[in-house]
Amino acid sequence: MIIFGTRASNIGNFDVPKSKCEYCEMESTQRISVFGKYAHIFWIPFFPIGKKAIAECTHCKRTVEQKEFSTKLNQLYQENKSKAKRPFWHWLGLGTIGSLIALITIIAITAEEDPRSKLLDNDLNRMTSSPTMESDSISFKIKQLFDSIVADEINPDDFEYLTKIQGSKALILVKMPKLKKVEKSERSEALDIIEIITNNQDDLKGKEKYIGVSGAISMMLIKTPTYEKNSRLALTSELFEFYGPKAEFLK
């Protein structure tokens, strides 16, 4: 089966005045047909790859290939070949791919990035594996409990923490690089443990809690006042609300 190759289609014809047929010697009987060659993949034209021409005598029907054109015939062809316009469909494949890329680029540019994602990235980068009682007492207490109950193969020493209180809201972030190794059904226990501790902290009394637990790469457990998810596709954007409504950042 031929998957790709080249094909040609007739893209224009014109009469050649004052040229003489080499065979029947009639004047002005030749007609040049121009073919546009194009590359195809699965018979879908992809992109054009040059033109070729054939002259035919309307009287004796003999044809002359382009490489055998007389000087006169070639000159007339060169003068007229721009009249043979390629149809758009010779570009179909490449054009479609190009349009798709352009479309995706436009979508990517116009899809306005939520300014709060940078704030969350900053906080994620500030997480530490050794929170102290002075710098972050809540994270310190969460770590103490995790260190004592988490199995060694999940490496609790590698966990990272950050707790942040802002107005009536609290952000509690924990990173467990080996969280993926934990059965999905058991992962939410990490959330339960964090909640047990945070519910007993005076600092967090009456605060709306935005809890995010990430694995090595992405957020896997999220619990906010309005959202709860235990999934590798947990929506990080659900934590943005901690920073305030998006509109406030777009002013």
Identify which of residues 21 and 138 has a Cβ nearer to Zn ion in the complex.
21
- Which of 37, 51, 59, 229: binder of Zn ion (CB under 5 A)? 59
The residue (of 59 and 169) whose beta carbon lies closer to Zn ion is 59
CA angle 208, 214, 220 (to 5 degrees): 85
Count of residues in contact with Zn ion, rule CB under 5 A: 6
Using rule CB under 5 A, residue 27 touches Zn ion: no
| Site for Zn ion contains 24 (CB under 5 A) | yes
Of 51, 64, 54, nearest to 23 by C-alpha is 64
Q: Maximum CA pair distance of the chain?
A: 108
**21 binds Zn ion per the rule CB under 5 A:** yes
Measured from the CB atom, the residue of 24 and 102 that comes closer to Zn ion is: 24
Closest approach, Cβ 31 to Zn ion, in A, equals 10
Which CB, 24 or 149, lies closer to Zn ion?
24
Q: At 132, is the secondary structure helix, strand, or coil?
A: coil
Q: What angle do CA 24, 26, 28 make, to 5 degrees?
A: 135
Strands of 22-119, DSSP E? 30-41, 44-57, 63-65
The letter for the amino acid at 32 is I
Toward Zn ion, which CB reaches closer, 16 or 234? 16
State the minimum distance, in angstroms, from the CB of residue 52 to Zn ion. 20
What amino acid is encoded at 66 in this protein?
Answer: Q
20 binds Zn ion (CB under 5 A): no
The residues near 183 (Cβ < 8 Å, ≥ 6 apart) are none
- The token pair that represents 211 in the structure block: 């809890």
Asked whether position 60 contacts Zn ion by CB under 5 A, the answer is yes
Q: How far is the CB of 73 from Zn ion (least distance, A)?
A: 12
10 phi/psi in degrees, rounded to 5: -70, 125
Instruction: Evaluate whether 69 touches 81 at the Cβ level (below 8 Å).
Output: no
Residues 229, 221: contact at Cβ < 8 Å?
Answer: yes
Stretch that binds Zn ion, among 10-18, 19-27, 104-112, 201-209 (CB under 5 A): 19-27
Q: How far apart are the first and last CA of the chain?
A: 60
Kindly identify the residues of this chain, within the stretch 159-188, that bind Zn ion according to CB under 5 A: none
Least Å distance, CB 62 to Zn ion, is 5
Nearer Cβ to Zn ion (63/66) = 63
Site stretch for Zn ion (CB under 5 A), options 23-31, 81-89, 176-184, 222-230: 23-31
Kindly identify the residues of this chain, within the stretch 194-213, that bind Zn ion according to CB under 5 A.
none
Residues that bind Zn ion (CB under 5 A): 21, 23-24, 57, 59-60
